Amino acid sequence: MERNRLFWGSRRGMLELDLILLPFLDNVYPTLGEEDKLRYQQLLECEDQDMFAWLLHRHDPEDVELQRIVKIVRDNTGMPNDE
């Protein structure tokens, strides 16, 4: 997916998600392997409320592929880990 589309896909309707996803896109996404880049693109197709809950450690996605990318994003946010 081209960078411009990723940027707009990472801009969400929630400021909290923008503050997590946009720095991730700039700083971490370029270092990901192709499979994880595809997982991130899959994550962007999810609902904001689901992403918010996953990224703030409220619960985990059921999909194993999404679990992996959510963990990568969580590990790179600088936010405390509730585990």
The pLDDT of residue 2 = 87
pLDDT at position 79: 62
Q: What is the CATH number of the domain that holds 13?
A: 1.10.150.250
Q: 63 CB contacts (<8 Å, ≥6 apart)? A: none
What is the residue-wise DSSP string for 28-48?
TGGGS-HHHHHHHHHHTTS-H
Residue 33 CA to residue 81 CA, distance in Å, equals 24
Phi, psi (deg, nearest 5) at residue 41: -60, -35
Rounded-to-integer distance, Cα 40 and Cα 50, Å: 14
Residue 83 placed within a domain = no
83 residues of the chain, pLDDT tens digit each: 688 899 999 998 899 999 999 999 999 999 999 999 999 999 999 999 999 999 999 999 999 999 999 999 999 986 656 54
> For residue 67, what pLDDT is reported?
97
Instruction: Report the candidate in 30, 9, 24 with the shortest Cα–Cα distance to residue 55.
Output: 24
- Which pLDDT belongs to residue 3? 84
Boundaries of domain holding 24: 3-75
Q: Let me know if residue 80 belongs to a domain.
A: no
Q: What pLDDT shows up at residue 78?
A: 67
Domain count, the chain: 1
Task: Tell whether 81 is covered by a domain.
Answer: no
